[in-house]
């Protein structure tokens, strides 16, 4: 197996793990609120990555060689992806719905490609670029829901004449929240790519990012005082489900970071964003959510798959 084939295998493995995580989230969120579940999953991110690192150290000789620059890049990636990216994304989901949030999210590979070109000198062939555009277009069709272009927003306008603050203006804008999420994820991906190519430690890199993301999340979360009480009273089955989500997510992140050593960052990002192509058909047959599927959904899935196929077999 060549390095390129290994990179694609790792990226598709991450895609499957993210898809499992999304489907389990659909079930777990009915037992435990997503905000509390996110804390459980992030804690498990750190615990599982730490356990994986101990296993790696036990099976390898020579230990780890510290690379300060790569360490701080992985830490910054955790800030942008694990904290800022998720915050922008979940805010856009809550305020404007999953359809708008998902459609903005598929622009992340374009931001990643641009920054990887500027900072790392990565170049994409014309055929890969065509495949990427087809995949992004297909994912937009899959994510599209009627009423997406309705300009009504869920936030009630202020009744006074006071001008909104910068933070209020951002929170009222679907465009700024959506682009903010996509851009934050792209910055995190580029930082991981820069780090892994100078310090090939994907498990430690994932652990560092998870730790810094967890610290920020706990630092800025509301109702920290009641967190332990809510965890004690939480539904046990829901806790186990969110723990599974945490294992899947951190394992997928290790796969992504590893894949970035062998194939372009934007291609890795694009493949791992194709979760709707897996999640939607499974939801159709397993969860029986047939009312959410239109001809555009199936057409978009086919176009996205064709785009990925062009990239892989080019």
Q: What is the pLDDT of residues 255-312, one digit of tens each?
A: 999 999 999 888 898 888 888 778 777 777 776 655 556 777 778 778 887 888 888 7
Does residue 106 register a pLDDT over 90? Answer: no
Averaged over 194-205, what is the pLDDT? 92
* Predicted pLDDT of residue 174: 54
Does residue 158 register a pLDDT over 60? Answer: no
DSSP 195-257: HHTTS--HHHHHHHHHHHHHHHHHHH-S-GGGHHHHHHHS-HHHHHHHHHHHHHHHHHHHHHH
The model's confidence at residue 117, banded by pLDDT at 50, 70 and 90, is confident
For 225, which DSSP code?
A: G
Which of 42-51, 117-126, 155-164, 206-215 has the highest mean predicted lDDT (pLDDT)? 42-51
* Predicted pLDDT of residue 137: 83
């Amino acid at each position: 197996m060549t390095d390129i084939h290994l990179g694609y295998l790792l990226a598709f493995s991450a895609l499957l793990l993210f898809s499992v995580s999304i489907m389990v989230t659909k079930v777990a969120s009915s037992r435990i609120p997503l905000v509390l579940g996110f804390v459980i999953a992030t804690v498990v991110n750190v615990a599982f990555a730490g356990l994986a690192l101990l296993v790696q150290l036990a099976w390898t000789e020579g230990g780890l060689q510290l690379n300060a620059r790569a360490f701080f890049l992985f830490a910054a990636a955790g800030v942008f992806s694990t904290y800022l990216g998720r915050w922008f994304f979940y805010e856009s989901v809550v305020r404007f719905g999953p359809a708008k949030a998902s459609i903005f999210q598929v622009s992340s590979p374009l931001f990643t490609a641009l920054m990887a070109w500027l900072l790392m000198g990565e170049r994409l062939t014309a055929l890969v670029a065509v495949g990427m555009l087809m995949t992004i277009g297909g994912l937009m069709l899959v994510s599209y829901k009627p009423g997406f272009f309705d300009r009504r927003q869920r936030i009630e306008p202020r009744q006074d004449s006071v001008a909104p603050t910068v933070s209020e203006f951002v929170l009222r804008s679907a465009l700024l929240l959506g682009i903010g999420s996509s851009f934050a994820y792209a910055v995190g991906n580029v930082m991981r790519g820069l780090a892994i190519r100078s310090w090939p430690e994907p498990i430690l890199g994932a652990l560092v990012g998870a730790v810094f993301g967890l610290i920020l999340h706990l630092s800025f979360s509301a109702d920290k005082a009641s967190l332990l009480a809510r965890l004690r009273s939480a539904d046990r089955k829901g806790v186990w489900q969110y723990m599974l989500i945490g294992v899947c997510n951190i394992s997928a992140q290790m796969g992504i970071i590893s894949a970035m050593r062998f194939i372009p960052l934007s291609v890795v990002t694009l493949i791992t964003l194709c979760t709707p192509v897996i999640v939607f058909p499974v939801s159709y047959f397993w969860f029986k959510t047939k009312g959410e599927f239109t001809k555009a959904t199936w057409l978009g899935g086919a176009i996205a798959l064709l785009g990925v196929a062009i990239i892989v077999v080019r």
